[in-house]
Each structure stands twice: as C-alpha cells, then as structure tokens.
C-alpha cells in the first residue's frame, strides 16, 4: 500500500497482496468439513475473507491451507480463480503460516495484508483505514475493544505507538487486564514482514511461531508500529457451531438493516434471508419468508412475494415473483414479468411483461415479450442424457397443461391448445392441438357405476 520514496516521504503505491490464513483445524467445530468452509450467508466463510481481499484490488491473493487443503483449494478456485493456495503442512503458528506465502510473494515489493479465513466480517472501510494508516507506520495492526477480552492477544500501546502484542497465555495479570485486543489483521511491506517472521522463535507458552511477535521485532529494528481500531462486531471469529450461528445472525441482521436503509421494504425482516452478495433495488417489496441464495439481483420496484426462493437470477424492474416461486440459476426476467405460485424457472430468459403464473416448470428456455404461459405448462428439457432448449416467441398463448418437448419453437402469436404435447415446431400465428379427441359415450357413466358398486359389494361379502 505504501512505499518510502527516495526523499523519505511515504507515498501511496498500488501494490497489495492479501494473505488469508486458513490452515487451522477448527477442532471445536467437531466436523469433517474444514472450519473455513462452513457456510455463512450461504457461502463458505472463506469466501467472505476472499471478498474483502478482492475489494482491495490486490496483485495477489494467497490462501494458506493445511487441514482439508484439497477442499480449501477447491473453494478458493470457485470464489477467487486467480488466487494461489500454499500449503502449510504442519500448523506451527500464525507467523509460520504467513511465512508459507513466501513461495509466492518472496520477491513481491508491495504490502502484505493478513486476513483470517475464520473472521469473515472485516469491513471494506476498516481495510481502507488500515491502508491509510500504513502511510504513517511500517506495521499496522487492527485492534478492537473487547467486551470480554477472553483469550485474545492484548495490544500494549504507548500513546499512538503499538509496543507489542502479548498472547493471553504469555500475558501477566496486568497485561490480561488490557481490553484492547488483536483482531489478527495486520499490514506491512512484504519484505519487512517476512524478515520479521524469520526472526521470531517459538519459545512461548504455545510453542508456536507467533505473527504477533512481529511488532516487537519491528520496533527493535527502528520501525514504526501502530494500531487501527474497528468495531468489535467486525472481528467476530468462528470457532464453534454456536459462533457460526451467531455469525449468521449477525450477518443477516446487518443485511436486513442495509436493505431497508437502501429503500427496500421488508414486511417481516427477521424472516428474510440474504446471501453474501444479494443486491436489491430501491422500492422493491420483499414479503415474508423469502430466501435469497447467492447471485441474485433484483432491480427497483419489484415485488418478491412470500415463501419464494431465488438463486443466481436477475429480476428487472416491476417484476412480481411468487408467492411460492422458485427462481433458479440463469433465470433472467425482463421488466414487468410475473412469476406466480409453484412456478420454477431455470436458465430461462423471460421477455418483458410475460407471465408464468401457476404451477409450471420453465427450464432452458427463451420466452419473448407479452406471452402467457398457462397453468401447469412444462418445458420437457431433459431427455435423460442431454438438455434441450424451448423457444417461445412474442405474444404467444400457451394453453394450460401443455408439455413442450424440447427442442421446440413456438412462433410469435401462436397458441397451443390445453393439454397439448408439443413435439413439433409451431409456426407464427398457428394454433397447435396435440391431444386425443374427446369421445362421449351416452349413459356409460351410469353403467360403469353400477358395475363398480356390484364388484365392491361382492368383495365385501367375501371378506366379512
């Protein structure tokens, strides 16, 4: 973030590399899944740290993996394809963990910002504050005032100077009384940080190489060390399932508050669940019990009615979705589209003002504008091996209970009769009827009832 210019004046530079520590075991989670892959807001915890990292526009993101490294590598590739993963085979401490990043950042001339994979809520503003503080100090540590300092490392300060960090286990009674604690986030020039880590030892209560020892080492080398303070809520770390639930609740209450501040109406905020990346426009109304999974954008003035589930989709202005609708990945809804109850839309483009109001499945499809898809319509997109596309033009009327056996195309202003099984393309303005003709048999109903009642009476007399 900063470099020292030849005239001695520190100036902002562009380079930052984020190192995310994610090798720890997370014993208290009591899980086969590595701790950093447990979900918060429907994505692995690690994805939150990655998102914070990405917000700094970094030259590098390096994830230090150890326990469950394969799974961590896979998740990293999903959320940050450009990130590199280094392996910390043995977890010998936070300093040792950062040292593993040397393999990637050994020659890097920018800053390292250290984040933890299990501390998902450090805000972009706080990271910006750290970057600003780096203009005035060689090492910046992020601290917070802890309501219950517990076993956090304590920040020993003298005025603006951070003198050292003492781990709880190594602290004196007097030091333990300090409530200013270490979040674990730290920034310094890469070369400096690696030098300081090289100088750390493991003669301490845990027998670990502490990253926190960098503070004292930097100071003995004449470097300036300071701390930046953030709200304790940002430093919430996850070590147990109970804390995972707390983190989820904290995320949700913040997301709800933000949505409302941004002009979104939530009828029952506590029942609406957001993903880490949900975007909702102004004057949209979200009714009760709605779930937003990852990748959802809803524009202004839409209504998401009760009990709907949305994932990987886009709802344009004025859309009315639900109640009880399911929008799956690739659902792309143009302005003023209506999707009603018990309708599932997947990988489908729905044109302006079109309606799919009742009990339908529309998958791998493209529907033009002004079309009406009748109740119970199904796009039969899957033949058991491959997926096929259904194309529906503008101003089409699809009769109730139509099966559209893809690949198939309905031309503009065409119509299908109720109960049709459409296997061939329908040209524009045509009506397609594809069902067995009706036959009415006079008095046959009476005869049939008679036969059935007699059969039942006989069966009853045999079993009594």
Contact letters (x/-) for ligand UD1, 310-349, by CB under 6 A? ----------------------------------------
Among 108, 116, 196, 276, binds ligand UD1 (CB under 6 A): 116
Say whether residue 44 binds ligand UD1 (CB under 6 A): no
In the complex, minimum distance from the CB of residue 219 to ligand UD1, in angstroms, rounded to a whole number: 17
Near ligand UD1 by CB under 6 A: residue from 1, 2, 45, 64: 64
Part of the chain binding ligand UD1 (CB under 6 A), chosen from 70-78, 129-137, 177-185, 242-250? 177-185
User: Is residue 167 close enough to count as binding ligand UD1 by CB under 6 A?
Assistant: yes
Q: Which of 90, 79, 83, 93 is nearest to 42 (CA)?
A: 79
Task: State the Cα–Cα distance between residues 61 and 104, nearest whole angstrom.
Answer: 10
Select the residue interacting with ligand UD1 from 29, 86, 111, 118 (CB under 6 A): 118
Least distance from ligand UD1 to the Cβ atom of residue 97, Å: 4
Buried b (16+ CB within 10 A) or exposed e, 236-274: bebeeeebbeebbebbbeebbeebeeeebebeebebbbb
Identify which of residues 90 and 261 has a Cβ nearer to ligand UD1 in the complex: 90
Quote the CA–CA distance of 206 and 61 in Å, as a whole number: 28
> How far is the C-alpha of 19 from the C-alpha of 50, rounded, in Å?
10
Site for ligand UD1, residues 128 to 157, rule: CB under 6 A? 152-153
Q: Applying CB under 6 A, does 211 fall inside the site for ligand UD1?
A: yes
- Phi, psi angle pair for 393, to nearest 5°: -80, -155
User: 246 in helix, strand or coil?
Assistant: helix
What positions carry a catalytic annotation?
358
What's the token pair of residue 20?
Answer: 């995310």
Contact 374, 409 (CB under 8 A): no
- Check the CA dihedral 213-219-222-225 and report its sign: positive
Specify the DSSP class assigned to residue 374. Answer: P
Cα 388–chain centre separation: 29
> Residue 118 to residues 192, 350, 383: CA-CA distances in angstroms?
25, 40, 43
The size of the interface with ligand UD1 (CB under 6 A), counted in residues, is: 28
CB of 291 to ligand UD1, least distance (A): 29
Angle CA 240–244–248, to nearest 5 = 170
Q: Does 122 sit near ligand UD1 (CB under 6 A)?
A: no
Closest approach of Cβ 25 to ligand UD1, in Å? Answer: 8
- Shortest approach of ligand UD1 to residue 198 CB, angstroms? 16
47 interacts with ligand UD1 by CB under 6 A? no
Binder of ligand UD1 out of 96, 219, 256, 317 (CB under 6 A): 96
Where along the sequence are the contacts to ligand UD1 (CB under 6 A)? 21-24, 64, 66, 88, 91-94, 96-97, 116-118, 152-153, 165, 167, 181-184, 210-212, 237
């Amino acid at each position: 973030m900063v470099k020292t210019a030849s005239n001695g004046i520190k100036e902002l530079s562009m380079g930052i590399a984020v190192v995310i520590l994610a090798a720890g075991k997370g014993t208290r989670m009591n899980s086969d899944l590595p701790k950093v892959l447990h979900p918060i807001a429907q994505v692995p915890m690690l994805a939150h740290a990655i998102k914070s990292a990405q917000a700094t526009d970094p030259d590098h993101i390096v994830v230090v993996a150890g326990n469950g490294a394969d799974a961590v590598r896979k998740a990293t590739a999903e959320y940050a394809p450009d990130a590199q993963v280094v392996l910390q085979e043995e977890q010998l401490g936070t300093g040792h963990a950062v040292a593993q990043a040397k393999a990637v950042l050994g020659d890097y001339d920018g800053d390292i910002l250290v984040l933890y994979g299990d501390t998902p809520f450090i805000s972009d503003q706080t990271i910006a504050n750290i970057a600003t503080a780096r203009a005035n100090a060689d090492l910046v540590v992020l601290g917070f005032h802890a309501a219950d300092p517990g076993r956090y490392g304590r920040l020993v300060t003298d005025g603006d100077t951070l003198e050292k960090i003492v781990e709880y286990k190594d602290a004196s009674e007097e030091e333990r009384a300090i409530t200013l604690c270490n979040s674990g986030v730290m920034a310094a020039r890469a070369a400096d940080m690696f030098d300081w880590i090289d100088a750390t030892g493991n003669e301490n209560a845990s027998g670990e190489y502490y990253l926190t020892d960098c503070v004292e080492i930097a100071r003995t080398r004449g470097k300036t060390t300071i701390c930046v303070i953030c709200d304790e809520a940002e430093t919430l770390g996850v070590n147990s399932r109970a804390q995972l639930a707390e983190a989820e609740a904290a995320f949700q209450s913040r997301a709800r508050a933000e949505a409302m501040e941004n002009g979104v109406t939530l009828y029952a905020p506590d029942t609406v669940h957001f993903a880490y990346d949900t975007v909702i426009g102004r004057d949209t109304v979200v009714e009760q019990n709605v779930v937003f999974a990852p990748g959802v954008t809803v524009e202004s003035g839409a209504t998401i009615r009760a009990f709907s589930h949305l994932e990987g989709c886009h709802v344009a202005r004025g859309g009315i979705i639900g109640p009880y609708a399911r929008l799956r990945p690739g659902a792309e809804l143009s302005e003023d589209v209506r999707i009603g109850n018990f309708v599932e839309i997947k990988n489908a483009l729905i044109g302006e003002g079109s309606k799919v109001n009742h009990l339908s499945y529309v998958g791998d499809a493209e529907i033009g504008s002004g079309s009406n898809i009748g109740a119970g319509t199904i796009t039969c997109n899957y033949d058991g091996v491959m997926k096929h596309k259904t194309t529906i033009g503008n101003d089409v009327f699809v009769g109730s209970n139509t099966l559209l056996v893809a690949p198939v195309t309905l031309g503009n202003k065409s119509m299908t009769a109720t109960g049709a099984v459409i296997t061939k393309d329908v040209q524009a303005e045509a009506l397609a009827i594809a069902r067995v003709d009706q036959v009415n048999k006079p008095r046959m109903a009476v005869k049939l009832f008679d036969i059935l009642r007699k059969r039942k009476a006989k069966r009853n007399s045999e079993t009594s």
